[in-house]
Chains A and B, each alone.
Chain A
């Protein structure tokens, strides 16, 4: 059977989604999404714009907020606080990972290698 190949899209800082797309993709209500923005859990690219746009990475955060809200029966404020802690833990884990990979603070500062060929 011939199966079409679908393209996977990165959810990162390089592409954008609109407020209404974020609503559909996250399953959050309009009110909850606005509250998450008010509490700083999600930041529009231009908070002063008449219609908010977000980086597509916000889809990851908003879906996480939706799961946390549903599974722990939390309101948007509690979800925002929890997301803040989760984000801090992830940042620390990432730093630890970078240290382990040899990225930070070990040995003298990086010098440039010369590559031939």
Chain B
């Protein structure tokens, strides 16, 4: 079992009062709660903070934790020999041999002391009698834009608690294969029914919730189901119009650029974005930029000069209008 220093996680002294612990928790919850925080690794940090608070707020669990001794965070340890008799009396841990603690999570150990099991939505079933629905699992899934466009199958490796015949939770690896529908977008939540933890005493299993993160793409940017791609044009292509090969997530298409296309103009390719469940697909927008060659040869320079002398085009005509007003 790996040691976690709950006092250090909450940033409080070992003799902190219940009030100090609550204050420290609230401050850290505000900082790391995944629903209100933009901190990096907020979810992982909040999980630790929440676990620490669950233990230290409860005098019984706190006393049991204190008697586990002091170890370095992350260090493998076993409870002292007489610990179970003092703190786990009546719990499944009371009669366990020392080596049986090795694959137990500290939070599961302390939660198990009061006979509690995690219920649906990560909540606690509070030691109640009767069937207890399985806990829900949550996982972050990073996929590519191509996978989001076409749909994909992923394999998730989770470490989940599994209860033995005594009701003791052991961490076990659990592999789940999930089909992600096409058209998912960054930040979308998905539910996989029945793929959470097992229910107890005939209760149904929990669900698995997936939080989709779509990796940035080197060419396309997304906004909901719409896609955006930069389309650089040479000045003469913008003036005269042209046909360009444009990449899309379903393969390149030939795009006709009308004559007189301006920088910043968006050319919409209807239905070439991500598909919407039960509706039409998003669009692909090609955003025009006009790029100029940085090196020109003598012939090109001469043609530009000729163009400059024969053209009446004034790109700054509105300056004069503005100055006259």
Binding site for B on A (CB under 8 A): 1, 3-12, 14-15, 24-27, 56, 59-60, 63-64, 66-68, 70-72, 82, 86, 94, 97-98, 100-103, 106-117
Chain A residues contacting B24 (CB-CB under 8 Å) are: none
Identify 20 new A-B residue pairs, CB closer than 8 A, beyond the known A8-B179, A10-B184: A1-B175, A6-B179, A8-B181, A8-B192, A10-B188, A11-B189, A25-B121, A27-B120, A66-B121, A67-B33, A67-B35, A71-B46, A97-B223, A101-B221, A102-B266, A110-B285, A111-B266, A113-B256, A114-B255, A116-B254
- In whole angstroms, how far apart are the Cα atoms of A26 and B177 in the complex? 24
B interface with A by C-beta (< 8 Å): 26, 29, 33, 35-36, 46, 50, 119-123, 133, 153, 155, 175-181, 184, 188-195, 207-210, 221-224, 226, 228, 230, 243, 253-258, 262-270, 272, 276-279, 285-288
Q: Which among A6, A9, A113 is the interface contact of B177 at CB below 8 angstroms?
A: A6
A76 to B325: give the CA distance in the assembly, Å.
57
The answer to whether A26 touches B29 (Cβ under 8 A) is no
B266 x A64 contact (CB < 8 A): no
Looking across the interface, which residue of chain B has its beta carbon closest to that of A4?
A: B177
Q: Which residue of B lies closest to A26 (CB)?
A: B121
Check if B255 sits within 8 Å of A103, measured CB to CB: no
Cβ contacts under 8 Å, B272 to chain A: 115
* B177 touching A106, Cβ below 8 Å: no
- Interface hub of A24, A59, A102, A114 (most chain B Cβ within 10 A): A102
Tell me which residues across on chain A come within 8 A of B119, comparing CB atoms: 27
Q: Which of A12, A25, A67, A114 contacts B207 (CB 8 A)?
A: A25
Q: How far is the CA of A70 from the CA of B46 in the complex (A)?
A: 13
- Rounded to whole angstroms, the CA-CA distance of A97 and B226 in the bound complex is 12
In the complex, A111 Cα to B166 Cα: how many Å?
A: 68
Q: Which residues of B contact A63 (CB under 8 A)?
A: 121, 209
Q: From residue A29, how far is it (CB to closest CB) to chain B in Å?
A: 11
- Check A10–B177 contact: CB distance below 8 A: no
User: Quick check: A9 and B193 within 8 Å, CB to CB?
Assistant: yes
With A72-B33, A101-B228 already in contact, the answer to whether A111 and B253 are too (CB < 8 A) is: no
Closest to A62 in B: B121
Chain A residues lying within 8 Å of B46, measured Cβ to Cβ, are 71
What is the distance, in angstroms, from A115's C-beta to the closest C-beta of chain B? 5
| Structural contact, B178 and A5, CB atoms closer than 8 A | yes
Check A60/B253 contact, CB under 8 A, given A108-B262, A112-B268: no
In the complex, what distance in Å separates the CA atom of A112 from the CA atom of B261? Answer: 11
